[in-house]
Amino acid sequence: MMMKKIEVQIMQQNLQLSCPEGGEGYLREAAARVDKAMTQIRDHGKVRLREQIAVQAAINLAFEMVKATAAEKEALLRAEYAEAVTAQAQAHAEEATALALSVSGPELQTKCQALLERLDSVLEKDDPSRI
């Protein structure tokens, strides 16, 4: 794969960096984020050494990335959970339809009531907002 050299500026220091061809935009965005993080730390005045500023910026950026990844995983789990609950409710609805077609009279009402109670129980127990 071809590598391309680009120049970026971080905390007023020019740096030559290499990246895969086509990744220049991503590298420039990453460098801009690092520059912003380091500049903010330096401007707050508590840390002055460039190396300490770089370490603090790296920790802050990594923390943000870990937090975003966790939120993404949680959203995916919630979606999978909602899909499973929906499938279970659909199965119960199909069972209710089959049951309704197979019985009649007072027996129908009793069986439908029991099935509705099961559906309510499943939907209440598996409420995704309770995660």
| pLDDT of amino acid 92 | 85
Q: Are 23 and 8 in contact (CB under 8 A)?
A: no
**Residue 122: inside a domain, yes or no?**
no
**Residue 128: inside a domain, yes or no?**
no
Domain that holds residue 13: 4-115
Burial of residue 31 (CB within 10 Å: 0-12, 13-18, 19+) is middle
Please give the Cα distance from 77 to 81 (Å, whole number): 6
Phi, psi of 20 (to 5 degrees): -60, 145
Helix, strand, or coil (residue 1) = coil
Tell me the pLDDT tens digit for each residue of 24-61.
Answer: 999 999 999 999 999 999 999 878 899 999 999 999 99
Number of domains in the chain: 1
**Residue 55: inside a domain, yes or no?**
yes
**Residue 51: inside a domain, yes or no?**
yes
Please state, as a whole number, how many other Cβ atoms lie within 10 Å of the Cβ of residue 42: 19
pLDDT bucket at 126, cuts 50 / 70 / 90: low
**Sign of torsion over alpha carbons 15, 21, 25, 26:** negative
Compute the mean pLDDT over every residue in the chain, rounded to the nearest whole number.
Answer: 89
